Amino acid sequence: MPAEPPPQGWAALAPPRGAARVPSGPASAARRPSGPAEPRSLWSREPMGAGGRWVRAAHTALSSTLLLGLLLHRTGEQEERGELLQPLIFVLLVLCSVLLYFKVSLMDPGFVKPEEEVKEGENKGQGVVIPQIPGDVKLRRCGYCLVKQPMRAKHCQLCQHCVRRYDHHCPWLENCVGERNHPLFIVYLSVQLVVLLWGGHVAWSGLYFEQSWEWLQHNIFLLVSFLLILIFTIVVLLLLVSQLYLISCNTTTWEFMSSHRISYLRHSELENPFDQGIILNLWRFFCSRHLTAWENIYFHRNSEPV
């Protein structure tokens, strides 16, 4: 087997993680993506596991329980006053939040396809628009799934795929947050925050405090609901604020937490080579419909390629 040429560009800065785990020799040849069958198995996503089903079922059950409890407590008083518009809007917001949750958790976050399927998708005109990378830039090959890994992509060992512009793996979604579903993830957090604030207001307004055991029996559901909603509100608010800050800087959670270990950030002349200003960063994140070739921005911002 002829020796492969040494990696160039940003790929030469660090060897692929896990490369030592791939054995060499004839036994490893069968594992390499040769032919159309092997890339298809690499790309096809695993069926939803039991953990994912339990997490999504828990999210749906918790949302439904809180919704029904708050509605049953407040609807009687509002029916007497003829106010049904606010409960209807609240129900629609909760349904929208649940639908967004399933959309973000089940959609493709930006999995990196093997080269054979990318070319096939481009020829048929059915695939995602893949950004063009400069010819002199050599991509590193992932040591786990053996696909050519674009800049800012990372292999997720839970999803068993490389994800473009990898941000983090969300355990509550049982899915990665990447370049394709990250904007919708922000929309989901925003809608969820509105639902939690509204639900917290409904639960708090229904409480009237008395120091008696009978009062606690009649208001235990509202009290527990308010405490749960308060905890979830703090978590969602902190997550949304931190995400918006990172987006305005055009960085990801993974890059922010591991910048000292990422080769293209350690060897860059700029602290953040992808930052193009708040307005352009937000415009590119929320309004761009195509995947971005981050190599173009990286080598353009740095005076010398690394």
Task: List, by residue number, the catalytic residues.
Answer: 170
Bridge partners for 111 per DSSP: 163
Structure token digits, residue 55: 């997490």
CA–CA–CA angle 92, 97, 100 (5° rounding) = 125
Question: Where are the extended beta strands (E) located within the chain?
Answer: 140-141, 148-149, 154-156, 161-163, 168-170, 175-177
With residue 283 as reference, give the H or E element that holds it: helix 278-287
Comparing CA positions, the residue from 146, 175, 178, 116 lying closest to residue 17 is 146
How many CB atoms sit inside 10 A of residue 294's CB?
21
Nearest partner of 250 among 223, 283, 205, judged by Cα: 283
Q: How far apart are CA 304 and CA 306, in angstroms?
A: 6
Contact in structure between 155 and 146 (CB atoms under 8 Å): no
Q: Could you say which DSSP state residue 180 is in?
A: T
> Which DSSP symbol is given to 12?
G
Q: How many CB atoms lie within 10 A of CB 200?
A: 19
| Cβ neighbours around 244 below 10 Å, total | 15
Structure tokens belonging to residue 82: 């003829």
Structure tokens at 175: 């899915």
Provide the pairing of β-strand 154-156 with 161-163. antiparallel
